[in-house]
Amino acid sequence: MTDLRGLLATAQCVLFDFDGPLCPLFARHPAEGVAERLAARMRELGAGPSEETGRDVGRDPLAVLRSAAARGASAAAMRELERFLSTEECEAAAKAEPTPFVLPLIRRLADSDHRMAVTTNNSPAAVIRFLEVWGVAGLPEKHIHGRTLDPGRLKPDPDCLHRALDSTGTAAADALMIGDSPDDVHAARAAGVPFLGYATDAEKYGKLRAAGAQVVLGSLKTLLLAVPATVRGGERGL
């Protein structure tokens, strides 16, 4: 708790990863099926051989995008794959339940004058859809920074974090990222942003610690209880 309060003491802006910290995106719309359908669309576009595609992508839809880009898919094909995946993610987001304690955490952060943003490898449209379904305030569209048409800018590249810092007017050292994957850890380190890990099981905890995360929580309730309940003076900047 001491380390956690230390992170919060300097955090003027909290950057949330989407899939995990805000919601388990594919819990009701499985990622494996999304990856298979996206790979099929990739083959229809002539962006890769079926055998290699099946071996490469596994359960991860983002691996399909990376695979297509690595094989030199055309700009038109990449736009179609992005459109296809964004549609699937929006369907998943409409069904997703919020991560336990994240909604009161967002309210508490807003009440304590923290700025907030989303930094994700998922489609910004999916984040917007989720926030609309649950009526979440405090995370305006201008602070949602997700996937672009360039798979090379996906985390662990820090691009989305840099965009979030710019949009919120926050120095890297004054932010805190909440993420649940080694790629999140590496992106935060590359951007110079302090990191807080979120892990729902021992395997994820071990991967985050191995990637260098110093503080890893198993529940956002711990963070909720550590955020001051009183409103600090000044404008929220959202």
Closest CA to 151 of 52, 232, 60, 224: 60
| pLDDT for position 58 | 65
CB-based contacts of 44-49 (< 8 A; 24+ apart in sequence): 45/73, 45/77, 45/80, 45/81, 46/77, 47/71, 47/73, 47/77, 47/81, 48/73
Q: Tell me phi and psi for residue 234, to 5 degrees.
A: 105, 170
- Measured CA to CA, the distance from residue 6 to residue 111 in angstroms comes to 19
Pair of tokens at residue 164: 């979030």
Angle at 1 between CA 200 and CA 97, to 5 degrees: 30
pLDDT tens per residue, range 16-63: 999 999 999 999 999 999 999 999 999 999 886 555 545 545 689 999
**Whole-angstrom distance, CA of residue 101 vs CA of residue 228:** 15
Intervals of the chain under pLDDT 70: 1-2, 48-58, 230-238
> Which of these, 90, 35, 28, 91, lies nearest to 63 by C-alpha position?
35
Beta partners for 14?
A: 116, 176
Question: What pLDDT is stored for residue 3 in this prediction?
Answer: 83
> Taking the model in full, what pTM does it have?
0.92
- Residue 141 contacts residue 38 (beta carbons within 8 Å): no
Looking at residue 5, its pLDDT comes to 82
**Nearest-10 Cα torsion for 25, 27, 29, 31:** 80
